[in-house]
Amino acid sequence: MAKTLEQAIADKSARIGIVGLGYVGLPLVRAFVGAGFRTLGFDVDETKVDRLLAGESYIEHISSEWISRCIRQNQFEPTADMKRLAEADVLLICVPTPLSESRDPDLCYVEATTRFIAETLRPGQLVVLESTTYPGTTRDVMLPILAAGGLVVGKDYYLAYSPEREDPGNPDFSAEGIPKVVGGIDPESARLAELVYRQAVVRVVPVSSCEVAEACKILENTYRSVNIAMVNELKMLMDRLGIDVWEVIDAAKTKPFGFQAFYPGPGLGGHCIPIDPFYLSWVARKHGMPTRFIELAGEINTSMPQYVVRRVMDALNEMGKPLRGSKICILGVAYKRDVDDPRESPSFVLMELLLAAGAELSYHDPHIPRLPKMRHHRLPEMASTELTPEFLAGLDCVLIATDHSSCDYAEIVRHAPLVVDTRNATRDVAEGREKIRKA
């Protein structure tokens, strides 16, 4: 079985199946199509599949023209029919791994996908989980489901883990250009997984087990979470001391060793950094060990929207205005600059807090024309408002939550009566600085 699959990978006749056609799955499709493989894309959301079949992309950095061309040339076929999983020689799983209401890992999507695969699993297939999760998921959760059909891992089929490393909106790091860490359940699974990724990405980094690969991803994101929490806490301290934390960071990063710049903000966003550290603290609790450092970082980062709203209240009070009834425009609802990805964006928490306090709310985001429905947030239907001089002048405050580079911050400051900036987006604005408050 291994030799047959190895040959199919080498001559690129192997069909690559990618389960989950979101911000990780679609770039992965692009990487394997670019490497010369025919791909099948699976998603239970039939609306997504229908849009792709119509040649329409729903992710900004994947063009509709590219989708149309790939489908027309039979390089990519999206489907919602999970019975077709057997048609793929390699299955890469890129489904969400959210947290439950109690902030425990919610593996329902991974488990459901694994059951779908188990129903059609055939000899010679390679299954790789890419979704971020805690160490032990591939072996303890997926393997028993796949093994229930009687096929033997490492002999009849193969199982591995390779964490996604997608960086939306960063043109310097496409899926193809980022090294892939790969760990297998057994040596043969690891070897085949390394071989398949080596066809499509710049470099493969083999590790000794699935658990090491799973822990690698958790470490990467916990590292970011903890360091962002530190600068968020420093931002609040520096504010009390009357010091600009952004200037402090700019000065510190001139040191050529021993320092890496992290930047504060209104909270954490994206699928990984606000969620993954809690996977690690959960598995630590299962083993009887507290992770005080990680938990504290989570507390600081999740408290940042409340801090920002307090700063907005203070800034309005200086102008003799209460928060209730004030017209506030949130600038940016995507979780990071220049992307259309709203996952876990702190802007949604800011909106909920401001609405609960009685503010009249609007938003502007050139990448998100309509406010999407979010699983954990209840917000009214809203559309992005154009930042005309008249609209800005009629506001009480513009709250910069995401620093999209297409926005003209000098114009915003010129026409708005008050700007609360959580991202240092107005650092180069010379005129009207008396209207700017940092948060």
Sign of torsion, CA 277 284 94 349? negative
What does the pLDDT read at residue 264?
A: 96
Range of the domain at 174: 2-208
Work out the end-to-end distance of the chain between its first and last CA atoms, rounded to an integer number of angstroms: 59
Quote the pLDDT of residue 272.
64
- Is residue 201 included in any domain, yes or no? yes
User: What is the token pair recorded at 86?
Assistant: 């057997």
Q: What are phi and psi of 113, to 5 degrees?
A: -65, -40
Contact present, 407 and 366 (Cβ < 8 Å) = yes
DSSP string, 321-368: --STT-EEEEE--SSSTT----TT-HHHHHHHHHHHTT-EEEEE-TT-
Q: Is 222 within the bounds of a domain?
A: no
Do 304 and 244 lie in one domain? The reply is yes
Quick one: 245 and 389 in the same domain?
Answer: yes
**Do residues 255 and 192 both lie within one domain?**
no
Cα–Cα distance measured from residue 233 to residue 226, given in angstroms and rounded to the nearest whole number: 11
Q: Are 313 and 408 contained in the same domain?
A: yes
| pLDDT at 172 (0 to 100) | 67
**CA–CA separation, 58 vs 41, rounded Å?**
14
- Alpha-helical regions (H) of 209-291: 210-241, 245-252, 276-286
Radius of gyration for the chain, computed over Cα atoms and rounded to the nearest angstrom: 24
The widest CA-to-CA distance across the chain, in whole angstroms, is: 76
Neighbours of 84 (CB within 10 A): 14
> For the chain, how many residues are written?
439
Q: Give pairs for 408-411: CB < 8 Å, separation 24+.
A: 411/387
DSSP result, 112-166: HHHHHHHHH--TT-EEEE-S---TTHIIIIIHHHHHTTSPPBTTTBEEEE-----
Which residues are designated catalytic? 272
* 177, 293: one domain: no
Nearest Cα neighbor of 385 from 409, 361, 404, 405 is: 361
From CA 438, how far away is CA 426, in angstroms rounded? 9
Decide if 147 is inside a domain. Answer: yes
CB proximity list for 44: less than 8 A, separation 6 or greater: 80, 82
> How many domains is the chain partitioned into structurally?
2
Regarding whether 423 and 393 lie in a shared domain, the answer is yes
Global pTM?
Answer: 0.90
Q: Is 338 left (phi over 0), alpha (psi -120 to 50) or beta?
A: left
> How much is the pLDDT for 61?
86
Calpha distance 343→375 (Å, rounded): 10
Q: How many CB atoms lie within 10 A of CB 63?
A: 12
* 143 and 111 housed in the same domain: yes
213 domain residue, yes or no: no
CA distance linking residue 317 with residue 311, whole number of Å = 10
Chosen domain end from 173, 208, 243: 208
355 occurs within a structural domain: yes
CA–CA distance, 277 with 280 (Å, rounded to integer):
5
Residue with the two structure tokens 């047959």: 4
- Is residue 389, in this structure, part of any structural domain at all? yes
The tokens 């702190």 sit on which residue?
Answer: 346
Same domain, residue pair 305 and 334: yes
CB atoms within 10 A of CB 220: 17
Residue 199: the pLDDT is 96
| Same domain assignment for residues 243 and 103 | no
Angle between helices 25-34 and 64-72 (to 10 degrees): 50
Q: For the CA atoms of 155, 158, 161, 166, what is the dihedral angle to 10 degrees?
A: 160
Domain of residue 434, CATH code: 3.40.50.720
With a CB cutoff of 8 Å and minimum separation 6, the contacts of 293 are: 226
The list of the chain residues with pLDDT below 50 reads: none
Number of H helices, E strands in the chain: 15, 13
Closest CA to 280 of 114, 93, 94, 137: 137
Residues 36 and 84 in one domain: yes
Helix axes 276-286, 210-241, angle to 10 degrees: 110
What is the per-residue pLDDT for 279?
81
Give backbone dihedrals phi and psi of 80, rounded to 5 degrees, phi first.
Answer: -105, 5
pLDDT value of residue 354 = 97
Residue 100 lies in a domain: yes
Q: CA separation (Å) from 434 to 159, 397, 437?
A: 59, 13, 8
Same-domain check for residues 235 and 202? no
Same structural domain for residues 195 and 269?
A: no
223 falls within a domain: no
